[in-house]
Amino acid sequence: MNHQRLISCLLVLAIFIAGSSTDAQMPRLYTTQSRHITLPYSVDNTGGTSNVTLLLSMNHGKTWKQHSQQSPDQKQFRFKAHRDGEFWFCTRTNLQKHVVPLDLQPELRVYVDTQNPQIKLRTERNDNSEVVLHCQVFDPTITADKVITEIQTSPDADWIPFPLNSPPNFVRHGVLQLEGRWQPRVDTRVVRVRVRAEDAATNMSQEERQVFLPPLKLRRSENYKPIQNPYTGPVPHEGAVRWPADSGPDLQTSENVHSIATTDLQEVSEATERAQAVRLPDNVKVHQLNSPKFKLQYNLVSSAAAVAEVQLWATEDGGQNWVQWGIDADKQSPLEVEIQREGTYGFKTVVTTADATTNTPPLPGAAADIWIHVDTTQPELSRGEITYSDDAGIPEALIRWAAQDNNFGSRPIRLHYQSGSETVWHEISLAVPNTGIYRWNLDPDSSVKWRVKIEAIDRAGNISSTIVSPK
């Protein structure tokens, strides 16, 4: 028989994930992250039906082809997509092999999307000390309501929405753009910004950034009032890694777990030892920098006498002796400073006037305006190792390492993992004490291959890392 009969085709529940509105003449577009699709069908009267044919279009209906043909009693087709993209389906009965009817219309549309959204996230601090977010999300099935921007203002704080300047907008198909700004509180020193994206196929991605904020005294605002002249302050790094490296859960240890030998670690440099040995006055705050070049801000208090020079003085022995470091010729903040070797330095500005009434250099024991520790040396980190254990009845990965640095905080180790062919690293812990071992509970049913990235970061922000796979 040559008559053709229209057959209803439906997706199984496993791929009924999400859909989008389409023109009234077109069937709904369904999205799935699986490349294996089951298409059930039914035939009202099988007596006159010799076969059921599934027809496929991969170019939005421009051309069609027979995908498969089978008897009506099999009740379903199985389709495997060999790539991501949009696929159109329709069915006919009693077709001859390789025959394709004219003017076919889709009965079902499916978009196969197996890729996680790509997130390009950039954060910065503007001149008003606002945290600024620039972000683009790349995905063919992304929607604005599935992209979440958040900020965490302290280690123990909840994630809260990051305010956007305007609703997310598509700069082109599949590219969603977001812009936003957030004003920190006066006591905020470091924040974490997070963007999470989920496409219509439930593929998910996440990106995070940290933004360090200068001390309140350095933040320019309408109500900014300079303190007693002279005043200096550092640019960006103070307390750079005290969070989150100084917070987090305590490490579980075992007496029968051995540590990696540390014989391959180099001796601590003389400069680092000398820097740590400097005796400083009590209750001073030391700012950490990992660059030998930085800028010092200062503010001149108005005076009846004309300013002749702005001098910068420095001490390397805790304030016992002072040397003139340089002169700010233009008498305008900031001062550019370059350190020749690592160490702990105190700096003080001296403003001279034409009448010579204030031209007094710092005396022994004078208080510094600011203390800066310059540390440009990366921590020593040996290649770690990973072994398995189930002593407690729960499968564990024992992650071991050896790290050394004289400028570590209490929790200087960060651990991330990556599985399979992933390109994104996932957090295990961002605040691990330097004990040389971490117990990581594993999923007993998981068979995914994975690897671990070990990072050692000192107070100045110097980082060493290594990637380890289980033996």
Q: Is the pLDDT of residue 335 over 70?
A: yes
Question: Mean of the pLDDT values across residues 155-159?
Answer: 85
**Is there a single domain that holds both residue 16 and residue 98?**
yes
pLDDT in tens, 273-303: 444 456 788 888 888 988 888 888 877 765 5
Domain's final residue, options 341, 374, 407: 374
Most confident of 21-30, 65-74, 217-226: 65-74
Q: For residue 306, what is the domain's CATH number? A: 2.60.40.10
Do 233 and 97 reside in the same domain of the chain? no
Range name among 92-106, 225-239, 342-356 with the lowest pLDDT average:
225-239
Domain match, 170 and 84 both: no
Is 405 found in the same domain as 364? no
- Kindly tell me if the per-residue pLDDT of 263 is higher than 90: no
Is 248 within a domain? no
Q: Is residue 419 predicted with pLDDT exceeding 80? A: yes
As a whole number, mean pLDDT of residues 156-184 equals 90
Residue 144 has pLDDT above 50, yes or no: yes
- Asked if the structure places residue 105 within a domain, the reply is yes
Q: Which tokens go with 415? A: 């651990």
Would strands 108-112 and 29-32 be described as parallel, antiparallel, or unpaired?
parallel
Please list, in sequence order, all residues whose beta carbon lies within 8 angstroms of the beta carbon of residue 384, skipping any fewer than 6 positions away.
260, 399, 400, 401, 402, 452, 454, 466, 468
pLDDT at 138 exceeding the cut of 70: yes
User: Both 382 and 370 in a single domain?
Assistant: no
Q: Is the pLDDT of residue 233 over 70?
A: no
145 and 28 together in one domain: no
Residue after which a domain boundary falls, among 97, 112, 127 = 112
Statement to judge: residues 23 and 91 lie in one domain: yes
C-alpha to C-alpha distance for 348 and 312, rounded to whole angstroms:
6
- On the question of pLDDT at 4 being above 90, the answer is no
- Does position 259 have pLDDT exceeding 70, yes or no? no
Question: From residue 348, how far is each of 230, 307, 315, 323, 398 by CA, in Å?
Answer: 8, 16, 9, 10, 49
Q: Indicate the residue among 374, 393, 426 that finishes a domain.
A: 374
Q: 393: left (phi > 0), else alpha (psi -120 to 50), else beta?
A: left
pLDDT (tens digit, 9 = 90+) per residue, 83-126? 888 999 999 888 888 889 988 999 989 999 999 999 999 998 88
Q: pLDDT exceeding 70 applies to what percent of the chain?
A: 76
Domain containing residue 92: CATH number: 2.60.40
Task: Determine the structural domain holding residue 125 and report its residue range.
Answer: 118-213
- Judge whether 369 lies within some domain: yes
For residue 261, being part of any structural domain is answered with no
What is the number of structural domains in the chain? 4
Q: Are residues 237 and 350 in the same domain?
A: yes
Does 63 share its domain with 22? yes
388 and 363, same domain (yes or no): no
Residue 82 has pLDDT above 60, yes or no: yes
In a domain, 258, yes or no: no
Residue 157 placed within a domain? yes
- 21-69, pLDDT tens digit by residue? 334 478 888 898 888 888 888 887 667 788 899 999 999 999 999 999 9
Q: Does the pTM of the predicted model rise above 0.75?
A: no
In degrees, to the nearest 5, what angle opens at C-alpha 61 toward C-alphas 6 and 100?
55
With bands split at pLDDT 50, 70 and 90, how would you rate the model's confidence at 431? Answer: confident
Same domain assignment for residues 357 and 394: no
Same domain, 292 and 172: no
